[in-house]
Structure 1
């Protein structure tokens, strides 16, 4: 073997790795755009805006939430949350009930109709996603979870940096 062979192999491996990293970055961006398109289509179908949809997503992941918790989760002022909750309640997407721990406060809940509607809208996506995940081995799933978790944390840190710079 000549002394150049390892260098050539290294360069080939390096260029393939660089190309795979580029492709991975491009696919992450494309996934974000595709997810954004699903969110836009869902919000349009429900007759609400994207912030309203995000609120319903938060509520369907929890049993209930205080308006102040929604404000924090959505990055909104309490006044904005009140207007949003009024709008979503009028549309029948959520209800407000007295907080069982403190009757002076209220909690917000997604209606059963909203929960069923979410299952109808997202059910096919969840089914196809489950079939897709079934193709991966346990170590591959662990790698994917790690990759997605780290990328979510990266996005959250960057969002915080952007908010700090703005304020």
Structure 2
């Protein structure tokens, strides 16, 4: 059993490295940094988001969120408009242009992923989904812990 857990751990680490490399390449194609890419992923997935929600999801300060949104708006990747339910708030939305670029990057990935999952039974898919959910929850928990640690200032 320990051998299986070790093999699973190696596969998870290798998968994380592959995801990281893919995200780095995708960010390069879009001309953004990794945090901007995460913001775009949220906006493409959601109808709209408030700047405060983006900041919370990305671990950014208010000023950093504003600078990020300015960069992404300048690239034509998002719009900001008054929230229809509360005009004092702002709704941030992905543009059709960035949705198209995202589909060009991730569409083939989605198609191959759908093909890959055809080999699994419903029970196996439930098991995989449970494992991935629980793994994400573990990361969320550990991220909260690490964010509480002191940050080493980088030398320039």
After TM superposition, the score normalised by the length of structure 1 is: 0.88
Aligned Cα root-mean-square deviation (Å)? 1.0
Give the deviation of 1:117 after TM superposition. Answer: 1.2
Unaligned runs of 5+ in 1: 1-16
Unaligned runs of 5+ in 2: 152-156
Report whether the alignment pairs 1:74 with 2:74.
no
Which residue of 1 is the match for residue 83 of structure 2? Answer: 99
SS of corresponding position for 2:148: helix
Compare the two structures and name the one with the higher helix fraction. 1
Give the deviation of 1:21 after TM superposition. Answer: 1.2
SS of corresponding position for 1:105: strand
Which residue of 2 is the match for residue 109 of structure 1? Answer: 93
Distance across 2 between alignment mates of 1:145 and 1:99: 34
After TM superposition, the score normalised by the length of structure 2 is: 0.94
SS of corresponding position for 1:132: helix
Task: Give CA-to-partner distance per residue, 1:10-32, whole Å, 9 cap, x none.
Answer: xxxxxxx2221111000001001
Which residue of 2 is the match for residue 132 of structure 1? Answer: 116
Distance across 2 between alignment mates of 1:155 and 1:97: 33
Which residue of 2 is the match for residue 55 of structure 1? Answer: 39
SS of corresponding position for 1:104: strand
Which residue of 2 is the match for residue 34 of structure 1? Answer: 18
Which residue of 2 is the match for residue 156 of structure 1? Answer: 140
Give the deviation of 1:33 after TM superposition. Answer: 0.6
State the structure with more CA Rg.
1
Q: What is the aligned counterpart of 2:73 among 65, 72, 89? A: 89
Query: Aligned pairs, how many?
Result: 151
SS of corresponding position for 1:103: strand
